Structure 1
Amino acid sequence: MNPTIYIIEDNDDNLFLYEWIFVRHLPDYSFHLFSDGLSVQHHVGRATQKPDLILLDLKMPNVSGFELLTHFKTDPSWKHIPVVIFSHSTSPREIEACYQAGASGFVHKEISVHGIKSQLQSICHQWLQQGRLSV
């Protein structure tokens, strides 16, 4: 069975890009795209199968990535799932707060399509295949 990734991102263009990258370049992974925190919270309550990894944007309206991270890490049935923050943020305070809240990693998103593709490939290879994140 292929590893499953939840990708939570409020930017539709980025979601389209991630879908394209996974379909074309990372076909060995299953993925679910979520465009906001509310839809994830609703889905989590009904999920029968949990993901192997969660990629989470930090800056989202309504329910922020930090709030979702906190929710995942305080829920006993979800806290073991690695959550990697995938964000444009470079704030040392935000990065530290995410690690304190239980994030498994923090990756500063590249701007280019090639850069994002390389980052996603590295995250999947290093985290899901080797069981660690060091990007």
Structure 2
Amino acid sequence: MDSINGLDILIVDDDPDDCLLLQEALQENMVVNQVLIKHDGEELLDYLQHCYRLPGLILLDLNMPRKDGREALTDIKNNPNLRSIPVVILTTSDASEDVQQSYESGANAFITKPASYSGLVTLAHNVRSFWLETAVLPTEYDIR
């Protein structure tokens, strides 16, 4: 089975358990796109600057060590070579200031992480349905 849209999904979260559970929830929803994992904003930006093919979707946590998701989002959206990558904030926060700041910084969506695995499976279904099947995403990036 080919990946949907041929795009890679990049999960950026410092919690390895959250990454694994989200990856499993995506697989349970038949998302066969390559899923890459980075654990902080520094790793994310280093990857984006040196990768051969940019991801089609970034699921970004806010609270991480070294460079947090807020800083990474700002860096991505201020870079003309990266700004068209859709970035979905996926975090435990539901603070109105985090929501507001994320959208002001260019986030394409803000989602509070569900508390249960079944909620995560539903979230993965919604990610597949909207971001991979409904939305038209850029397929080619001029990164150099």
TM-score, normalising length: structure 2? 0.85
Letter in 2 for 1:65: G
**Counterpart pick for 1:112 among 94, 116, 120:** 116
Find the counterpart in structure 1 of residue 52 from structure 2: 48
Deviations 1:7-41 (A, max 9, x none): 00000111121222233433432210111222112
Q: Percent identity?
A: 28
**Secondary structure of residue in 2 paired with 1:33:** strand
CA RMSD of aligned residues (A): 1.5
Q: CA deviation at 1:98?
A: 0.4
Q: Is 1:52–1:128's contact at 8 Å kept on the other side of the alignment?
A: no
1:67-86 correspondence to structure 2 within 5 Å: 67-86=71-90
Alignment of 1:12-23 (within 5 A): 12-23=16-27
Q: Report the AA paired with residue 126 of structure 2.
A: S
Q: Could you tell me whether the CA contact under 8 Å between 2:29 and 2:124 is conserved in 1?
A: no
User: Segments of 4+ in structure 1 off by > 4 A?
Assistant: none
Q: Equivalent residue for 1:35? A: 39
State whether structure 2 residue 142 is matched by structure 1 residue 99: no
Give the conservation status (yes or no) of the 8 Å contact 2:39–2:64. Answer: no
Note the C-alpha offset of 1:56.
0.2
What's 2:65 paired with?
61
Report the Cα offset of residue 120 of structure 1. 1.6
Please state whether the residue corresponding to 2:74 is helix, strand or coil: helix
Match of 1:124 in 2: 128
The letter of the residue matching 1:52 is G
Contact residue 62 and residue 68 of structure 2 kept, 8 A: yes
CA distance in 2, matches of 1:26, 1:7: 17
Which amino acid letter does the alignment assign opposite residue 87 of structure 1? T
Moved more, 75-84 or 12-21: 12-21
How many corresponding residue pairs? 132
Distance 1:13 1:80 in 2: 29
TM-score normalised by L of structure 1: 0.90
